[in-house]
Copies of this chain bind each other. A is one copy, B any other.
Amino acid sequence: MRMCIYPSYMSTEVPEPAFESEGLLPAIAQDADSGDVLMLAYVNREALEQTRETGRAHYYSRSREELWQKGQSSGNVQHVEDIRIDCDGDTLLYLVEQEGGACHTGYESCFYRSLDGDVVANRIFDPDDVYE
């Protein structure tokens, strides 16, 4: 008989996030109500733990090499309603309630442009009012 031991927060059906093999994992933030995909950022284990403990989305900045909480300076916090994990455990999906907009440019979503150059959304805040 083969015995498997899983951490208490997992069922046998859920893969552990693949931090060891993958390093940082991408986390997609999706608006839980509208379904809009808001942004993609990266998480390490600590960022995921902070997200679960506080209910607010945390990420790891590859450029600044530090943990950050979304909205810490802007106030545009993401309240995380659920976290999904994909079939092979190497991508996370944060379902969030977004305060203000997710994008530092003033749009609700960072995906406000098509690759052909069409702007497909309206600005909902003035970045100059939010970011110093």
Contact = CB atoms under 8 A, between A and B. Distances in A.
Interface of A: 9-11, 13-14, 17, 26, 28, 30, 34-37, 39-40, 52, 82-88, 91-93, 103-105, 107, 110-117, 119-120
7 contacts: A34-B35, A35-B36, A84-B111, A84-B115, A85-B115, A87-B112, A93-B111
Q: Quick one: copies of this chain in the complex?
A: 2
Contacts of A35: 34-36
A39 B83 CA distance: 14
Nearest to A87: B110
A52 B115 CA distance: 10
Contacts of A85: 111, 113-115
B86 A39 contact: yes
A9 B114 CA distance: 11
B40 A114 contact: no
